[in-house]
Chains A and B, each alone.
Chain A
Amino acid sequence: MPSQPQGTGLKEEDFEREKVLTVAYQPLAKYSWATGVAISRFLSGLKAGEILGTKCDHCGRIAVPPRIFCELCFKRSAVWVKLPDTGSVNTFSISHIATDTTRLKTPTIPAVIEIDSTRHAGFLHIIGEAKPEEVTMGMRVKAVWADPEKRKGSITDIKYFKPIK
């Protein structure tokens, strides 16, 4: 075991006081991802106010988010099914921080929503119209859709899921 591990630790002030030389750089890499057959159709479905899944005609499992294959059987799964826009909360968190770790004034409640009529299939989304202390696992929720004219074929076409009271 080395008794004297090497390394020169710096403080943020060391940068501010230009104690060390640095190069600042802004990466300019940009992407435009082709969403493909499955996710294009899923997103188009959201635009139309529908949650679409795929059913494996081999094992019968319904997958959402949908894919053109069943990863467990390794077969094409081309049967599209319209799913209800209701489900239950598998797990959730109450987040006080934004992506860049700055603090939020109002917490967001991310959750994994299991969509009804599937077996534990679902996706990440946000809970709305609920106080943090009211949210529970297994809670029944329903999608709240953006106005049709504001939908753009995005996961955010569902504004959030709200508790079914």
Chain B
Amino acid sequence: MQVKKRVAVVGAGMTKFMRRAQETGKELAFEAAKQALDSAEMRMQDVDSVALGSAPDAFDGVHMKGEYLLDGAGGWQKPYSRNFVGGGTGVFSVIHGWWHVASGLFDTCLVVAEEKMSTCLPHPQTAFLTIFDNMIERPLGPNLIWIFALEMHRYMQKHKIPKEQIAQVAVKNKRNALDHPSAQIAKAVTLRDIMNSEVMAWPVQRLDISPVSDGACAVLLASEDVARKITDSPVWIDGVGWNLDTTYWTNRDLYFPRYVANAARMAYGMAGITNPRKQIDFAEPYDPFDYKELHHMEGLLLCRKGEAPKLTKEGVTERDGNLPICPSGGLLGVGNPIAAAGLMKVCELFWQLRGEAGKRQVAGDPRTAVAQAWGDLMQIGTVVVMRS
């Protein structure tokens, strides 16, 4: 398939990720947007369009929060719109921006993702009650951890994965995040720390979960001709994919995220990737919980079903391994302001593929990488393939 315009990332920005930010959501969005503009030495007046991603309004506590955030995100008197695909939003925001430019309608698009979860009390988790079916699930008093626990347990049981192998992901990502200047809680943990942490909803323990967070990220996209004027080292978005499975999650087998695989196949098809394990140099799969990284490596077809824990155990997914996974530190290490956390993964691809990731830089001059997010009721996969 012929895409009308090739699209590049030419700048990226990111705030600190914090448990509670003093900044308003608008101010967080601005800080990230400003950095993205500055990193590309672009002025706002040179930007044609703005795409925003943010997860539920019940976090920030503002109805139509896309409208509320728009001035901080640079949307003043611009074509501006907000996409929303739950936890998949962060990576999807780049896809949303991508079609602004790939369509030929705009030369540039500023993509901003923001989340301010600390506004929501008594705990942001409480808002997650309202993601369940209002007619037949909410009356049971569910919480968000349930669906993760149910999915994780099914995955473990299907492939007979011991909990320790899953916890290894949290050890790796929290260690990787020590090198990330935006990380919320940069703290190394041991396998024992995780296995001894409080049980939330078995098999999910406290340290299996990424920290609740406030923050924002931004990237600047440009069409090929414009990108080459802006920078000598654009990073190309060569594949995009997204896929939404049925709402009826209790009618599916949760052990494998087939919607992620569908989205990956779509993105790989565009990017001409036929053997992802060989052709992809590193990956940033979505890791709000440790098992999700493994689940998503399999969904991204980077290994066989059930094989991801083995690769992790063998060190293949370490930053200096053969297939680095979440060299940023991921959501587990850096923090999880939902939409911003997804876009953070795309920022990481940008910095890594330009060789600008500093202490986090993966070895061996990476050329091709994939970022992925996931969300809704274990339902959506959003995938972006980027090349230097």
Contacts and interface: CB of A to CB of B under 8 A. Distances in A.
Contact between A and B in the complex (any CB pair below 8 Å): yes
A43 B181 CA distance: 52
A120 B200 contact: no
Contacts of A99: 125-126, 129, 141-143
Interface string B126-157: 10010010111101111101100111011001
Given A1-B356, A8-B21, A124-B250, A97 B143 contact: yes
Contact of A7 (B31, B201, B250, B252): B31
B250 A112 contact: yes
Given A93-B150, A137-B157, A5 B20 contact: no
A133 B31 CA distance: 49
A35 B145 CA distance: 26
Interface string B1-33: 000000000000111111111110000100100
A100 interface: yes
Interface string A1-38: 11111111111101100001000010100010101000
B200 A8 contact: no
Interface residues of A, number: 55
A67 B14 CA distance: 44
Given A7-B18, A122-B251, A96 B201 contact: yes
B18 A9 contact: yes
B18 A39 contact: no
Contact of B140 (A7, A124, A132): A124
Contacts of A90: 154, 250, 253-254
A140 interface: no
A95 to B, nearest CB: 4
Nearest to B137: A124
B146 A95 contact: yes
Interface of B: 13-23, 28, 31, 35, 39, 61, 122-123, 125-126, 129, 132, 134-137, 139-143, 145-146, 149-151, 153-154, 157, 181-182, 198-204, 214-215, 246, 248, 250-254, 351, 356-358
27 contacts: A5-B14, A5-B15, A6-B15, A7-B17, A8-B23, A9-B19, A9-B20, A10-B19, A27-B61, A39-B135, A91-B150, A93-B149, A93-B150, A95-B146, A96-B198, A96-B199, A96-B202, A100-B122, A101-B143, A110-B140, A122-B251, A123-B137, A124-B132, A124-B146, A132-B202, A154-B139, A155-B140
